[in-house]
Amino acid sequence: GSIAAYYRFLMQIDIGLIPMRDTAFNRSRSDIKFVEYAAAGAAAVIRKLDPYDESAVHEENAFVFEDETQMISGLKRLCQDRAFWERLTAQARTYVRRHRLQRDHVRERLAFYRPGSSVTAKADRAGDWFLKWSRVPGAVVQGRHLQLESTRFEQLVHDGLVALEVHRDPERAGRLFAEAGTLEPRQYLPYLYGAECAADRSASLKKALALKPDSIKSWIVLGEQMVRISKIKEAMQAFESAAVLFPEYEAPYLRAAELLEQIGQKGDARKLQDRAQELIDRLNVKSEM
């Protein structure tokens, strides 16, 4: 619906729930939902996340929870304790009036957007930016409209994957990935995806990691390749590197556990399996909230 309909809806509710998952994307968001609830006179029940740390104060102007049990407890309390609800909503509205009204921040907003920054100094007119972007690879200009489509490099990588995975044509895929690598020598994807059809898979994957050391997928695929050629130590090091990059991702632990089982180290394998299952269970709990 329209924004007007949304604001009318806000005026009809007494409690606003913000049960966001603890993800990188949500941690990068703003606290505008709390501000909207406060302005509308609704008590906010909020998942404890970074965006709300500076504005939502537990049991002062909002109810902040860390798990499902606390969330339900807060909802029940707000439904049963009118005085508590009134105190939270009043404090929230006071916070908005004192700190979040646009009129009080006009000068700093104008200073932010006013010409004089490093960007606007280079191009004072929108037309300059339009002309600049119209010259980049993949730009399609239709009159006063500009659209960025796939570049030649992106199309080559896409076609290489189709040739490899759909048409089962590794020879053609290899040519496409090689052309993509020549076109963009600093990009790692041609070496990661091209490893499957490369004469030396290990060298191709190591090249991908040299270009992008923080590629978790490259480390995992390199580990699998090391298992394939019976280089156990190198495989474990690759899986460990992936786990260090993203400790909350279960895949490196599972791959390492499979390898340890194969070489008879069942106790260590079980520890890694338990760690992976713990991460999976934690994610499932977050998904249910």
20 and 101 in a common domain: yes
Q: Contact at 8 Å (CB) between 258 and 248? A: no
- The answer to whether residue 101 sits within a structural domain is yes
**Phi then psi for 19, rounded to 5 degrees?**
-95, 50
Q: Provide the domain limits for residue 28.
A: 3-106
- C-alpha atoms less than 13 angstroms from C-alpha of 117 in its C-beta half-sphere: 7
Q: Are residues 227 and 192 in the same domain?
A: no
What is the distance between the alpha carbons of residues 186 and 189, in angstroms, rounded to a whole number?
9
Nearest to 221 by CA among 200, 205, 203, 198: 205
Q: Quickly count: other Cβ atoms within 10 Å of residue 68's Cβ.
A: 13
- For the chain, list residues with pLDDT below 70: 1, 115-124, 284-289
182 part of a folded domain? yes
Other C-beta atoms lying within 10 Å of the C-beta of residue 155 = 14
Number of Cβ within a 10 Å radius of residue 170: 16
Is there a domain that residue 111 lies in? Answer: no
The total number of residues written for the chain in this structure? 289
Same domain, 189 and 218: no
Where among 197, 212, 227 does a domain terminate?
212
Residue 122 forms part of a structural domain:
no
pTM, to two decimals = 0.55
CATH code at position 23 = 3.40.50.2000
Domain membership of residue 125 (yes or no) is no
Are residues 218 and 272 located together in one domain of the fold?
Answer: yes
What pLDDT score was predicted for residue 121?
53
Check whether residue 198 and residue 156 sit in a common domain: yes
Phi, psi of 187 (to 5 degrees): -90, 135
Which residue reads 């993203």 in tokens? 246
Q: Is residue 129 part of a domain?
A: no
Residues 9 and 94 placed together within one structural domain of the fold: yes
- The pLDDT value recorded for residue 137 is 83
Given its phi and psi angles, is residue 168 left (phi above 0), alpha (psi -120 to 50 degrees) or beta?
Answer: left
> At which of 50, 78, 106 does a domain end?
106
Number of domains observed in the structure of the chain: 3
Do 32 and 97 lie in a common domain? yes
- Assigned domain for 124 exists: no
With a CB cutoff of 8 Å and minimum separation 6, the contacts of 255 are 220, 223, 224, 239
Q: What CATH number does residue 169 fall under?
A: 1.25.40
The residue out of 212, 234, 253 marking a domain boundary is 212
186 with 169, same domain: the answer is yes
170 and 246 inside one domain: no
- Secondary structure (H, E, C), the chain: CCHHHHHHHHCCCCEEEECCCCCHHHHCCCCHHHHHHHHHCCEEEEECCHHHCCCCCECCCEEEECCHHHHHHHHHHHHHCHHHHHHHHHHHHHHHHHHCCHHHHHHHHHHHHCCCCHHHHHCCCHHHHHHHHHCCCCEEEECCEEEECCCHHHHHHHHHHHHHHCCCCHHHHHHHHHHHHHHCCCCCHHHHHHHHHCCCHHHHHHHHHHHCCCCHHHHHHHHHHHHHCCCHHHHHHHHHHHHHHCCCCCHHHHHHHHHHHHCCCHHHHHHHHHHHHHHHHHHHHHHHC
Task: Give 121-146 pLDDT, tens digit per residue.
Answer: 555 577 888 888 898 888 889 888 88
Answer yes or no: is 97 within a domain: yes
Residues 240 and 165 in one domain: no
Tell which residue, 154, 163, 205, has the closest CA to residue 183: 154
Task: Report the CATH number at residue 220.
Answer: 1.25.40.10
